[in-house]
Structure 1
């Protein structure tokens, strides 16, 4: 399988990530996966992050994904800017379906791309 794909990404499990035993166990598991497969992006939902400092302890290709209307935060430029200010090494996954359900004109998608294009590692299209 390794040779069949030049780009692989995974969604991290849903968990309130912080400096605890379970978070470390999950991140160690993700490290193992990255040593076997060419994982270029590990996607995390911003509302699942309790303590961003945990990301500093692991050299993994994390990105934050914009959220849909069901979430309380993480949809727009302002919300995501706060996250990226505190976690400057984390990249960005732009979920176009999430942007569309928040703004059917797709101006939000354009705004997110303009604001975070330098961090963009992946588009989700569904």
Structure 2
């Protein structure tokens, strides 16, 4: 379900939370430099880009990040032999996105706690 939500641009990022009545900063809580949306958070944020780059360096790949998560999934191909390796390769975007989402939520909750303390 999480993986599908990431690829379909349906995560509850800041803009969607604001529409539901939460008053939040529209900036990415990872880097603070851009508006938070799926493409920025999961692919183009400088902080999450470091995670992608770490993985790509470990496997010896040079990669130009596509514009959207759907495009990433379309071109995320494994050109090796073993089926087991192919299945593991296909899980990589989901694992990276889950790691990013957990860290984003942690940062969001820290920020919320700080704002609550300041408002008292």
TM bucket normalised to smaller: under 0.3
- The structure having more radius of gyration, on CA atoms, is 2
* Structure with the larger RCO, 1 or 2 (CA within 8 Å, 6+ apart): 2
Higher-helix-fraction structure = 2
TM-score in terms of structure 1 length:
0.24
More strand by share: 1
TM-score, normalised to structure 2, is 0.25
